[in-house]
Each structure stands twice: as structure tokens, then as C-alpha cells.
Structure 1
Amino acid sequence: MSALGSVVRSGVGRRRVQTVVITLVVAIAVTAAVLGGSLMVASSAPFDRAFSQQRGAHLTAQFDATKTTVAQLSASAKATGVSAAAGPFPTASISPVRDSGGGLPPMTVVGRADAGGAVDAVTLTEGRWVNGPGEIVLYSDGRLSEGGPLSKVGDVLRLPDLPGSPTLTVVGIARSVSETAGGWVDPGHIAALTAPGAAGGYQMLYRFTAADTTEQVDTGRAAVQASVPAGAMTASTSWLHTRLESAGNTSLYVPFLIAFGVLGVLMAILIVGNVIAGAVSTGTRRIGILKALGFTPNQVVRAYMFQALIPAVVGAALGVVAGNLLTVPVLSQTNRLYGTVDSGVAPWVDAGVVAGALALVAVTALAAASRAGRLRTVDALAVGRTPKPGRGYWAARLTARLPLPRPVSLGLAHPFAHPFRSTTIVAAIAFGAAAVTFAVGLGASLNQVQATQRHADVIIHPGAPNTGPPPGGGPHMITDEEIAAAAPDPAVVAKAVTGQAGTSGYSGVAQAEVTVPA
């Protein structure tokens, strides 16, 4: 064993280039595999993982404050089939306008003192939670345009429809996997955000013991409705509907993330296998020398396995560290996209990648060394690095007929003398080219999508006619005929828009009121 150990130590120390190459290749392969495996894990059922991590609501229910009380809604948490509940939270509908200009879509705001709770733990992606009146945390769906079409931290939203035109300062952007609100404010501020004469409302969030199907959610909804006064529940949303929408939102990204993961793992396997096989096969002559000195074939095979495994272990350790460092920022991006809260690489991914890499090195070295170990001592000394007799001769004869310098023709024929190794090299290069194409192409495409989503809209509104004060100073109602008469000619507007330098196109916008059920 001491003699075998000396051979291993001398082989690792003497073949420094080979040792460094194996270390670097294994490190790069493990890094790619850790990153690829983490991407595949992050892409697996992202909504379900986020829903579990944030304790999402199976049912989000809205109630009329004039038909029920806080005590009655709190008691509904004990309805049949309810495993957890949060609320009641007071609600209000607002139509904010940015102080910097531009209106926002009407939204429902919920009075909530903190982001946690037994149901729907809201995840802050920017800023902080509200500390008092006059502040708001806006909902973000986590897509490319961060904050969606709403606003950003620090913006001031004005509410011109309410008495005194109060304002709300955006102090945070948050993600709710259940999409329970457009924004969250201090509970004591809801009354000031409710329009005069408008009925107040409450929101309750429920988790059920069984909610995997529409029928089970409907059963839980019926139990909740039965526990409150008739007509008190005005609207409700099932988590299955939100889940279906989320699947459509992430369908663009998941295939690419999975593709990156698969390419990383395949490249790791091909590169490690090819390098280890080449490194061991170059030692065929030395194997013959060791056998001539009295080493058995098994001892020779073990010696070359350990010579490959020692630098492979060092490379695997370096690769795990590098893979984790690279994966953390990537996971932060997928967390923003999916709403998950993964803080790092799953330990089983690290363990599986290291075990797989070392097993691959051991198997590849065993196969290559066993082939050399089976050779007779004289053959191993004589053959050295030459390929098996007869292999690739047809290619050599064919390339010899080409009008090329002899070194070039020999080089063209060489890959056919080692077909397996040449195939793996071609495959590794192909997968690498595919990965680069994915990375560059997807990055450029998503940048264009992001730029498109963040472009500035210029909206031209036809102004109301300036009729002046009516005789006697009384109020004057502007008629539809007066508005139509004051509206500019669409052809004139189109000509003015297209005449602006840098304008490539425009679209018309019309508004209409519609009535829909519920």
C-alpha cells in the first residue's frame, strides 16, 4: 500500500498540468451543474412552492360591512373545513393619480397592520411596511416591469375623488401569491379613504383542509357563507383561478430555465468524462512500466483512479463554492419572478452534484485504466499512446488523397482513430454553443420586452369646451353635443402626431362603460 501511495503522490505531483486541468475542469463542471440543477429546481412548480412558503389563501372573500360585523367574520374562521384564517381587514376602493402626472387603475386597498400572519404572508420586494396613515405598500406581480404599471417607492399618489384630495406616499412594493389587494395601508386610515356614502367592506382570507379541486373550494365557500348573515359575502376568489393565471405568466420563462439547467448538467458530464479518459489514456506507457516493476493490474487501476480522484475532489469543492455564489443572485431574480423566498441552493443539489461528479470521474478513470491494465506489459510499453491497430485507417487513406499538406491530412484523420472521444468533444462544443445562444438570445429578447413595457405613453385627450360662466353665475352642465363639437378633428391630430420627429406610430383609444355579472 505504501508503494501504491507513493505512485499516486508522485503521479499527482509530477503531472502538474494534468492535475491542474482535472481540477479546473471538474470545478467548472460542478459549478455549471450546481447552477443548472438549481435552475431546474426553481422552475419546478413555482406557484405551488410560493403558495406553500407564503401560506397562500385558498379563498379570498369580500364582505359588505353593512350586513355583517367584525365578530361574525371572526367567528367564520371556525366554519367547517377551515384550517386557518386571517382578518377581517377593512377595505376601500380608490382611484389614485400620481403627483408627477398620470392616473392609475382603480384598486382595492386593504387595511393591514403587518405583512405576516397565518394566511397570505405578504413578501416585501422593496421598501418597508406601512407605519401609519398617509402611507401605502403597492402590489407587484414580479414581472419584468418591476412594480407593474403602478408606481415606485417614494412616489406620491393623490386621491382627487375624496374630500380634501388626500395623498398616499408609496413606502414599499410587495408580492402576494394570493393577489389579495392592489395595495395595503394602515387599518385606521381606511375610513379616510372611503368615499362619502360608499359602503365599507371587509376582507377575510381562508385556508381549507381540502382545496385541491373546484368542488372542494366551493364546499369551503358554502360553509363560510353559511356562517355569516345572508348576502354578506359580496365576492370571492379561489386560489385555483390565481394558480391558472400564474401558470400563464411564468410559461415563457420556465422552458428556458429548464433548458439552461439541462445544458449545464450535460456539458459537465461530457467534459469531465472526456478529460479524465484522455488523461488516463496518455499514461498507457507508464502503466506498462508499473506492471514491469511488479504491480498487479488491480493496483495499477487503483493508482490511476486515485490520481484522477484527488484533483477531482479539490475541483468539486471549489465548484460547489463557486456554484453557490453564482446561484444566489440568480435565485434572487427567480424569487422576484415566481414570488418564492428561496435563500440559497438546496443542500441535496450540492450533495448530488458532488457525488455525481466524483462517481463520473471514478467510473471514467476505471474504464480507461482497466483497458490499459488488461494489456500485456510488452504491449503497454510498445503501444504507448497509439490507437488500436486498424482504427481510423480508412480515414487516413482517404485524407492522404486530398491535396493538402501531410500534417493537415493526418490531423483530419486523427478524430476517427478515437471516435468516442471525438464524439464527446463535438457534443460538448455543441451544447456549449447552444447554451451561449440561449443566453445571448434570451437576454437580448427580454431586454427588448422590458424596454417595450417601460416605454412612456403620451396620451392626447380632447379638452372640454370652455363655455365660460353662464348668465347669472349658476352651474352649467356641459352636454355631449358641446364636447363633440369641441373635440379636435382626428385627421388633424393624426397629422400632428406623425409630424413629430422620432414618432413611428400611434394608436387610438376609446372608453366605454359596460356591465358584467358580479
Structure 2
Amino acid sequence: MRAAARWTQAHLRAHRPAAVLIVLATTGITISLLLATALFAYATDPWQRVFTQSSGAHVWIHTQGGTAAGSLAELDEVRATSGPFRTVRTTASLQPGGAKATVELRGAAQHPATATPQIVAGRWLDAGADTGATKGIVLDSSVARAMWAKPGDTLALSGIAAHLRVVGVADTAEVAFRAGESPGVGWVLPETLAASDAGRDQRGRTIGLQLTDPADTDYVVQRAVTRLGADQITDVSTWRQAKAEAEGDNQLLGRLLGLFGLGALLAAALAVGGAISTRIRGHLRDISVLKAIGFTPGQVVRMFLALHLGLALLGVALGALLTQGLGRLVPGRIGEAMALWHRLPEHAWLPLVISGGVVVFIGSATCLAAWRAGRVPPVPVARAATVTGSRTSGLTRRALGLRVPPALVLGWRGAFHRPLRSSAAVARLAVPLLLITIALGTWTTLDRFTSHPGNVGLPAALTARSDTLGDGELRQLLAPRPRMTAYPGAEEQALVPGQTGTITLRGLGTDAQPYPYAVVEGRAAHGPDEAVAGQGLLELLDAHVGDWVRMTVAGRPYVLHIVGRNIETADAGRVISTSLDTLRDGDTADGTPSGPHPPRPDFYNLVLKHGADPGAVRDALTEASAGRLEVREVPNPADQLSAVRAVSIGLIAVLILIGLAELATTVGAAVRERSRDLLALKAVGLTPRQITAVIVSATAFVTLAAALAGTALGLLASEWLINLQGRTSGWGTGIAQRPATGILLLVIAVAVTIAAIASALPAARAVRRRLADSASAQL
């Protein structure tokens, strides 16, 4: 034991920089994996927590006003119901002159026992205090955030003469409010709802169904449509939709962290395994001496494993301690995720599992290399007294004949004269560079969302609507200006074939002024009944570009021809878009007119000219309309992923540490190989400076090959992974953006420069040593 401990101590002193880099890299990998797990929990568990605490409903059915929605409680698959509630669709505005939002008012005489709203601010409705002149309302937290409303604020609602006072804000497990897509929810007393003068088309019923088996969701929706009739159902939402929206961009951030954490773990395992193999080849005589004095092969293997597992344990422990102690102090959603994770039950055991997995993975990767140490014979085999490799090749001789500097020629030969070892070194160095290229591709794609949103399905920067301005005033106010173009639009919730869910049917632009969709497959919609669809809708309907699809809106059928696929970031891509003329004036499948249409668009999408400031345009329109025009900025997914940039920097730093650790191994191998040939190189007339240049150039050539391979593969992998994420999220492929060529060339140049600098000092030290031909050993 004493001999093993002294050997380990001497080994660490001789390879101190490489040991420190391995510990730091393992620390960074552990932090990445723990943060990724916390972000996944942050993405899904808040919704699950609210759903569980509120005894949430798996399906919400919205029907016409006279529908017997309560009969759905008789379905065998239904365990409990929330409601049915009488509802009124209205527009709420914060007073005085604040934000507006579409709200579905639900009349609730008491706190629902199923799908119970969880009060997070204020209180629930009180029949004694919220009647008379001062009527109360409880808002869902998503619409309250959108309106900047809090308990005590006053709301004006269309169709209700008296203003309502916000008495509470509640969390629910339903689909969250999204302007122009899904309304918010507000609970009022039945007396307040009865005071509304809303028309029949604005009244309805809503019932939440809690199922015995959540897997029966689609089947229950079909049974509900069959029982009530497709023309009676106006909207359907399920727990899967609500959960997917709650996950949102946090899940994407967690996926990125997990991907890079696992990739960095693989790179670290390869680096550690390569380091052990290289050191074994460099210390064959020492290992032989250990065996000669009585060490068994098993003891030698265990020494190497214990050394590197000790380094891995140290790195994992540092990473776990830093994450657990300081993770909650990180600003933004990462800190919030860590704070939430500490309160979840799995936090007691999951960090131990992840930390143990990192140690086991690195340990398993080092087993083979350590096993090779046990195979070293007690008496080393004498090395052939020739220059390393074989005879000089014809290409080498021709290069020397062309007066190419000998240092470059011999460096090239020294780098690749052993193809298997050279390929292994190139592969180990290429993995960190591949992951760095993927990180740069992710960063560049986010920049594309910010700088060129029109190319990724976000041509409009603002949305404008008004309930008080006349049609003529609105059109005059939004007439084409030097800084913007206004496109009229409307949206409807449509039932898809099979009646198992709803999609968004959108009309934007006109036949004379088509909306500039980002079409990546097929072509834009031009004629009547033509439409473009998002990836999520195509997968939901199992449709392709060129197909005709049928859907119903409040019992009215629409048949549209999908002529193209556009990048669609709204509603998980489950959107089909056509012109407003087709949506408002199109005929139904049987050729009869589809009925009366609203006299004007529901909203206008404002596409700004390049360089126009959305904030300035919004302020100008608000001032010109005297506050009667509601102008909102269109949400950009990149705004929710700002943490990716900071995370990318941290991940690149971890990968650089891994690359440096592998580079230290490569430099050591090159110095050792060239040190054996110092006498021969000096005999052919090379000066010490030229011999140093040979060693440096050999390392630089290996790094150059790894950088070229890593960046090339990284470009392909980055594009594939980002488009895969776009496809699975429903946005669609075509969003990936490659890093600029100059950036990639800079990465390659920096990698080669670092390799040359890192090898210069060890090479100079090797040249200054006393030259003596020695019989070495080789495995």
C-alpha cells in the first residue's frame, strides 16, 4: 500500500496540470447535468404540482349556451367533473386605460371541488362582499400577468355595466391565456354573470372532466362530441396541451444542458481513457519495475483505476457542492429551477444518482486502458534501433526535395506515421470541438430569431386591435406608413377530423396583399381555399403539402388545400393559415355560403420595416389613437431563451477544459515519441530549434485535423439537432442557422494556436535534456 501511494503521489506531481484539468472538466460536467435535471423539473413539475393540488380536470369541453354539458358526467370514463359553468366571452380592460384581454367569465356559486383554482393572491369570491355595487372577479394568473392586474384593481368588461374589482388571482392547470389564441379565465358569482347583456353567440357552457385513466383522453373527447354533437362544441382543451405549454422553453433549455452535459461526459471519458493509455505507453519501464518487485497485474490495474476514479470523485464532489450550495443564487430561471428542485421529493436521491453515474461512466471508460497496464510484461521488449515509424516515404522525400522546411515535413510524418494512434488522438480532440460547434450553431440560431424574425416565422413585430375605434378610423390609423405595413387578420378555433382536439384556423392578409409567411416547403397561398400549415398541424392530421383537409368551426365546415409549410411558432405549430378573404368569404364543402361574417378583422399584424423600433411605433400608434388602440409586441421565443447564451458560454468553457486535458495528453505523447529520436534528428543536422519545431508542428497537425473534423461534423450535427427540436416542438424544420465561416475559421485557428503554444515549452525542455540513446519499451 505504501509503494502504491508513493507511486500515485509521484505520478500526480509529474502530471499535475492534466490532473487539474480533468478535475475541473468533471466538475463542469456534473454541474451541467444537475442543472439540466433541475430545469426539466422546473419545466414540468410546477404544472404537475398545480394539477395534483387542484385535483385537476383532464379535459375541458366548451359548448354552446343551451347544450346539456352536464350529461358528460355520466360517461363511464369520467371520475369527477368541474361544473358545468355558465360562461360569457367578453373583453376585459384594466382601468384606467390599461391593457385588454379576452376573458371567459365563469359563474361559480362556490369554490369548485374538482379543478379547484389555487389562490396565490387575494381571496376567493364571497357572496356577501362581492354583490351589490361592488362586484368581484378572480382571475387566472396567466391573464392577470398579461394585464398587469392584481387584487384591488378595477376591470371594465364589455357587456357588463358595472366595473368589477379583482379580489383574487389563482393558478390553474388549464391551458394558459395567450393573446389572440386562448382566452383567460375569470370566475364571478352567478348574479354577476346574469347581469351581462352579451349576445347568444358569446354565451356558453364549460365543463371539466376528470378521468379515471388519463390515457383515455382522446376517446373521451370523441364520446363527448358524439353525445353533444360537433355543432354544439366550440372548443376542446386537454391536459396534454396544458402540460406542453407549461413546459415551453424551459424544457428546451433543459434539453440543451442535458445534451451538452452528456456530450461533455463522453468527451471527458475519452480524454481520461486516452490519457491513461498514453501514460502507460510512456511508463512501460516503470510498470515493468513494479511487476518485477512483486506487484501483480491486478494491483497495477487497481492503482491506475484508483488514481483516475479519485480525480473523478473529486470533480463530481466539487460540482455537486457548488450546484447545491450556489445554484439557488444564480439569477433568472436557473436559480428559480434550483429553488423549486430543492422542494421536490426526488431531490433527496436524484443528485446522488447523477453524481454516481458520472463516476461510473468515467470509471468504465478507463477500465480498458488500465487493463492494458496489467498486460505489460515484467521485462520490457527492446525497441528497434530505428527512427520511429518506418522508412521515409516517397512523399516525404519529395517534400524535402521541394525545399519544404524539414520541421514541417518531419512534423507531419511524426503526427500521422502511426495511423491508429493518430486517428484515436484526432477523434478524442474532435469531440469537444464538435460540441463547441453545436453550441455556436445554437447561439447563431437564437441570433437569427432576434435579428431576422421574419425568416423564422415571425414577420410581424406588433399586433393591434381596438373595440372602440370605428372601422374607418382604424384603417386610416393603420394605413401604410414608411415604417410599417398592417395586415388584417382573424382567428378561429376549429375541430380537426376525428373530433379529438382543436387547432387554430387563421386568416391573415388578403388576396391583394398576402401576408409574408416564412414558407420552407411548397409555396405561399395565393388563390381561394389555399392555405399554409405548421409542422404541428401536419403531424396532428398526418397530412402533407398538397393534401386537402377538412375542419369545422362552430359546426361550419371548411375545406382547404395545403400548398405549403411555414415555420409556425404559435400553438405548437398546430395552425393552418389562409387569407382573410378565404376565411371570411369562402364557401363550405356543399357550396352554400358559410353564413354572416364580422364586418371587420379581429386584429392587425404590423410588419415593420428594417431598422424600425417596435417600441417607438407602438407609442406613436397609442398616442395617435388617444389610448383607444391596444398594441402588443409579438412574443419571440428567443426572448425566453436568453439564459441559453450564458449557459453556452459555461458549456464552452467546460469543453475547452476537456480539450486542454486531451491536448496535454497529445503533447506528452508527441514529446515522448520525438525524445526517442533526438539523436537521429541531431545526427541529420537539425538544430535544437528545428527539433522543437518538429514536435510543435506534429501537435499542431493533429489538432488541425481534429479541428477540421470536429467543426465539419459539428455543422451537420448542429443543423440536424436544431431542426429536430423544431420538428418535435411543432415549429418545423428550417430554423437552424449555421455559424459564420469566419467564426469557424477563428475556432480552428485558436485551437491550433493553443496546441502550438502548449507544446512549445515541453518540446524545448525535451531538446535540452542530455541526449542518450536508450532502449525503451513499447506495448
Normalising to structure 1: TM-score of the pair? 0.66
Partner of 1:498, secondary structure, is: coil
CA separation of 1:170 and 1:83: change in aligned 2, threshold 3 A: same
Question: Is residue 268 of structure 2 the alignment partner of residue 268 of structure 1?
Answer: no
- The alignment's C-alpha RMSD in Å is 5.6
Deviates more, 1:308-317 or 1:174-183: 174-183
Partner of 1:84, secondary structure, is: strand
Aligned pairs for 1:336-415 (under 5 A) are 350-379=351-380, 390=389, 397=396, 401=400, 405-415=405-415
Structure 2: which amino acid aligns with 1:261?
G
The CA deviation string for residues 366-399 of structure 1, in whole angstroms up to 9 with x for no partner, is: 322332442334538x77xxxx963998699489
Question: Is residue 188 of structure 2 the alignment partner of residue 205 of structure 1?
Answer: no
CA distance in 1, matches of 2:148, 2:184: 12
The residue number in structure 2 matching 1:427 is: 431
The CA deviation string for residues 310-339 of structure 1, in whole angstroms up to 9 with x for no partner, is: 12101112223445666996578899xxxx
CA separation of 1:303 and 1:274: change in aligned 2, threshold 3 A: same
Q: Is the 8 A contact 1:123 1:176 kept in 2?
A: no
Say which structure is richer in strand: 2
CA separation of 1:488 and 1:135: change in aligned 2, threshold 3 A: closer
Q: Is the 8 A contact 1:396 1:409 kept in 2?
A: no
CA distance in 2, matches of 1:392, 1:273: 32
The residue number in structure 2 matching 1:479 is: none
The residue number in structure 2 matching 1:297 is: 297
The residue number in structure 2 matching 1:467 is: none
Structure 2: which amino acid aligns with 1:83?
R
CA distance in 2, matches of 1:410, 1:53: 71
Q: Is the 8 A contact 1:63 1:235 kept in 2?
A: yes
CA separation of 1:393 and 1:313: change in aligned 2, threshold 3 A: farther
Question: Is residue 515 of structure 2 the alignment partner of residue 517 of structure 1?
Answer: no
CA separation of 1:119 and 1:433: change in aligned 2, threshold 3 A: farther
Structure 2: which amino acid aligns with 1:110?
R
The CA deviation string for residues 145-171 of structure 1, in whole angstroms up to 9 with x for no partner, is: x95xx422347431253224x144496
Question: Is residue 92 of structure 2 the alignment partner of residue 99 of structure 1?
Answer: no
The CA deviation string for residues 282-320 of structure 1, in whole angstroms up to 9 with x for no partner, is: 354243443343322321221111111112101112223
Q: Is the 8 A contact 1:92 1:193 kept in 2?
A: yes
Q: Is the 8 A contact 1:305 1:366 kept in 2?
A: yes
The CA deviation string for residues 451-476 of structure 1, in whole angstroms up to 9 with x for no partner, is: 97995556699976xxxxxxxxxxxx
Question: Is residue 136 of structure 2 the alignment partner of residue 110 of structure 1?
Answer: no
Structure 2: which amino acid aligns with 1:390?
G
Structure 2: which amino acid aligns with 1:306?
A
Displacement of 1:186: 5.6
CA distance in 2, matches of 1:221, 1:160: 31
Displacement of 1:98: 3.6
The residue number in structure 2 matching 1:469 is: none
Q: Which residue among 492, 496, 506 is the counterpart of 2:486?
A: 506
CA distance in 2, matches of 1:298, 1:67: 79
The CA deviation string for residues 177-196 of structure 1, in whole angstroms up to 9 with x for no partner, is: 356994455654x4234435
Q: Which residue among 153, 156, 159 is the counterpart of 1:158?
A: 156
Q: Is the 8 A contact 1:58 1:208 kept in 2?
A: yes
Q: Is the 8 A contact 1:57 1:119 kept in 2?
A: yes
Q: Is the 8 A contact 1:136 1:172 kept in 2?
A: yes
The residue number in structure 1 matching 2:279 is: 282
The residue number in structure 2 matching 1:308 is: 308
Displacement of 1:269: 0.9
CA distance in 1, matches of 2:277, 2:491: 74
The residue number in structure 2 matching 1:176 is: 173
Displacement of 1:58: 3.1
The residue number in structure 2 matching 1:140 is: 142
Q: Is the 8 A contact 2:30 2:355 kept in 1?
A: yes
CA distance in 1, matches of 2:148, 2:270: 50
Structure 1: which amino acid aligns with 2:441?
T
Question: Which blocks of at least 5 consecutive residues in structure 1 are unaligned?
Answer: 226-230, 465-482
CA distance in 2, matches of 1:410, 1:318: 43
The residue number in structure 1 matching 2:578 is: none
CA distance in 2, matches of 1:5, 1:440: 49
Displacement of 1:62: 6.0
CA distance in 1, matches of 2:149, 2:403: 70
CA distance in 2, matches of 1:35, 1:511: 39
CA distance in 2, matches of 1:50, 1:509: 35
CA distance in 2, matches of 1:356, 1:161: 61
Partner of 2:147, secondary structure, is: coil
Deviates more, 1:24-33 or 1:284-293: 284-293
CA distance in 1, matches of 2:26, 2:297: 27
Structure 1: which amino acid aligns with 2:139?
V
CA distance in 2, matches of 1:112, 1:316: 53
Question: Is residue 195 of structure 2 the alignment partner of residue 192 of structure 1?
Answer: no
Normalising to structure 2: TM-score of the pair? 0.47
Structure 1: which amino acid aligns with 2:106?
V
CA separation of 1:269 and 1:248: change in aligned 2, threshold 3 A: same
The CA deviation string for residues 105-154 of structure 1, in whole angstroms up to 9 with x for no partner, is: 54212356999x76435578x8666576445424539xxxx95xx42234
CA distance in 1, matches of 2:440, 2:252: 16
CA distance in 2, matches of 1:389, 1:123: 75
> Larger relative CO (CA 8 A, sep 6+): 1 or 2?
1
Structure 2: which amino acid aligns with 1:316?
V
The residue number in structure 2 matching 1:85 is: 81
CA separation of 1:192 and 1:49: change in aligned 2, threshold 3 A: closer
Partner of 2:484, secondary structure, is: coil
| Number of corresponding residues | 460
CA distance in 2, matches of 1:158, 1:444: 40
CA distance in 2, matches of 1:273, 1:64: 63
Question: Is residue 100 of structure 2 the alignment partner of residue 120 of structure 1?
Answer: no
Displacement of 1:47: 8.9
CA separation of 1:51 and 1:173: change in aligned 2, threshold 3 A: closer
CA distance in 2, matches of 1:307, 1:451: 53
CA distance in 2, matches of 1:90, 1:460: 26
CA separation of 1:489 and 1:176: change in aligned 2, threshold 3 A: closer
CA distance in 2, matches of 1:170, 1:410: 81
CA distance in 2, matches of 1:461, 1:184: 20
CA distance in 2, matches of 1:355, 1:43: 24
Structure 1: which amino acid aligns with 2:115?
D
Question: Which blocks of at least 5 consecutive residues in structure 2 are unaligned?
Answer: 131-135, 493-551, 557-779
Aligned pairs for 1:432-511 (under 5 A) are 432-442=436-446, 445=449, 456-457=462-463, 487=472, 497-498=480-481, 503-508=483-488
CA distance in 1, matches of 2:313, 2:78: 52
CA separation of 1:448 and 1:29: change in aligned 2, threshold 3 A: same
Displacement of 1:405: 4.4
